[in-house]
Amino acid sequence: HSGLVIRIGLTGGIGAGKSTVAQTFIAHGAYHIDADKIAREVVARGTPGLAQLVEAFGEDVLDADGGLDRPALAAKAFVSDDSRKLLNSITHPLIGARTQELTDAAPDDAIVLHDVPLLVEGRMAPFYHLVVMVHTDEDVRLRRLVELRGMDADDARQRIAAQATDEQRHAVADVWLDNSGTPDDLAAAALAVWEERLVPFRDNVAARRAVEPSLDDTADDPESSKLGARLVNRLWALVGGGAQAVAHTATSSAADHPTRPIPELTVTVADLTAADALAEPLAAGGFPPVESDDPQVRLHGSADPGRGALVRVRPAD
């Protein structure tokens, strides 16, 4: 890709209402990649993935039609850490390759929507430009699962308990959509995020344009430590081996919005050549270059209209 697309991670606990948000984004042009669908596709009947599972776990993971018998596989794969690791070592590379294939096929100016139920649990948040979290209180989710999906109450409780906590979700969420109202309320909130944040973000990344943070976005977590930590992880994902250190070094306030924290981050590199080599990966990842007063520092801003940031890329002393 030409580095013009932005990747959005969409997640939320089981029964939170994620599909309503996904449908809203897709209706307005999001390029949808469904992680659950891919996980099913790569082990469908007749695939090399299914053959690998049979080789690893035996013929009795197949149903009468030669497809995957999921409960039978679960009974074998989730009995120990080793068997679960074996399962993951087969499925994860296949899912990753198919996801990359679909991402590469997206149009150049796409907003790629990656719909991932276990995004938090899989520690995938840093690899997105932005993470959208759909949230509903646990008791409401439990009621929905039992009443609307016909799940057994104990089973539903176990499924909820096995997923990330609200605190873990807050730590990675850039946008927090509360679904305690009606589906229409949620769709309206999702549309506002699409129009006010995602589309301008995509356009800013394409234009390599940094923004002054002005959007009064209550979905953004006001705790600067969480925001700083989130950006540190995202920068590491972008610069990889090209940096020696990434740190959240300070927090200032937007001039027109004193309560909004603007994290200042420092990426330490070997020399200015290394700093210049990071300019394009950072810009494609949502941190375009901006003018710097100091010839020994390369400065980057944020292309996300809902979140200001200042990133200094400097050689080690």
Q: What is the Cα–Cα distance from 142 to 153, expressed in whole angstroms?
A: 7
pLDDT at res. 155: 78
pLDDT at 217 (0 to 100): 45
Q: According to the model, what pLDDT value does residue 275 have?
A: 96
**What is the reported pLDDT for 223?**
60
- The CATH superfamily assigned to 224-315 is Beta Polymerase, domain 2 (3.30.460.10)
Architecture of the domain spanning 6-207? 3-Layer(aba) Sandwich (3.40)
Residue range(s) in the chain whose domain bears CATH number 3.40.50.300:
6-207
In the chain, which segments carry CATH 3.30.460.10? 224-315
Q: Can you give the pLDDT of all 317 residues of the chain as single tens digits?
A: 557 789 999 998 777 789 999 999 999 999 999 988 999 999 999 999 999 999 999 999 999 999 999 889 988 888 888 998 999 999 999 998 999 999 989 998 899 999 998 899 889 999 999 999 998 877 777 887 787 778 788 877 877 777 788 889 889 999 999 988 889 999 999 999 999 999 999 999 999 999 875 544 444 455 666 888 999 999 999 998 888 999 988 877 655 555 567 889 999 999 999 999 999 999 999 999 999 999 999 999 999 998 889 999 999 97
- Classify residue 149 by burial, with Cβ atoms within 10 Å: 0-12, 13-18, 19+: exposed
For position 121, what pLDDT does the model report? 86
Please give the DSSP secondary-structure letter assigned to residue 62: B
Pairing of strands 289-290, 298-300: antiparallel
pLDDT for the residue 241: 85
Closest CA to 195 of 166, 175, 172: 175
Question: Which helix (H) or strand (E) element contains residue 200?
Answer: helix 199-207
